[in-house]
């Protein structure tokens, strides 16, 4: 005899069954997202998203690429879901929401918040874009400084121009 499971017996499936069609759950811990997520949320192609970035229509965008790399854009998720609320925020407020409280942030947590790999974080550390306060703990002030220099927002003259 084969055992069967109903949707109600698996919490994630039960929750999915009650959501309206076409909606997708997003962890409340998700802060920055990549271009693919923005495309899916807005229902547009990559070129359209990049045009919105260049036009300053998406304000809270960070290019995490280094040197000769092509852009590695990360978008502040709340701007996609509540643009009116976040449009009034200052850069320091957005960065504080990204980095969280405390003097340090765990490398694993930073991977999750910025949607980057441990290899990327290792490069940032090796190239001194961010610093470690202790093994496995990134200095929050260094991360804030890094994000400030990587912001492409309309209030940062000369930071636009995210052409491939």
Write out pLDDT tens, residues 68-90: 678 899 999 999 988 899 989 99
Write out pLDDT tens, residues 109-119: 999 999 999 99
Distance CA 40, CA 46 (A): 10
Share of the chain above pLDDT 90, in %: 60
Nearest-CA neighbor of 38 among 84, 86, 78?
A: 78
If you average pLDDT over every residue of the chain, what do you get? Answer: 83
Query: Chain centroid to CA 142: how far?
Result: 18
Write out pLDDT tens, residues 91-133: 999 999 999 989 999 999 999 999 999 999 999 999 999 999 9
85-99: string of b/e by CB count within 10 Å (b at 16+)? ebeebebeebbeebb
Per-residue pLDDT at 17 exceeds 90: no
Query: Chain centroid to CA 27: how far?
Result: 12
């Amino acid at each position: 005899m084969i055992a069967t499971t109903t949707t109600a017996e698996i919490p994630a499936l039960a929750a999915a069954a009650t959501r309206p069609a076409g909606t997708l759950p997003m962890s409340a811990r998700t802060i920055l997202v990549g271009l693919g997520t923005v495309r899916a949320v807005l229902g547009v192609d990559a070129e359209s998203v990049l045009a919105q970035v260049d036009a300053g229509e998406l304000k809270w965008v960070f290019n995490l690429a280094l040197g000769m790399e092509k852009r590695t854009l990360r978008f502040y998720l709340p701007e996609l879901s509540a643009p009116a609320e976040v449009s009034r925020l200052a850069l320091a407020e957005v960065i504080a929401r990204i980095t969280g409280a405390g003097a340090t942030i765990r490398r694993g947590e930073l991977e999750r918040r910025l949607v980057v790999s441990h290899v990327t974080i290792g490069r940032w550390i090796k190239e001194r874009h961010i610093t470690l306060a202790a093994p496995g703990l990134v200095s929050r002030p260094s991360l804030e400084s890094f994000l400030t220099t990587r912001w492409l927002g309309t209030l940062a003259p000369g930071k636009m121009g995210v052409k491939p």
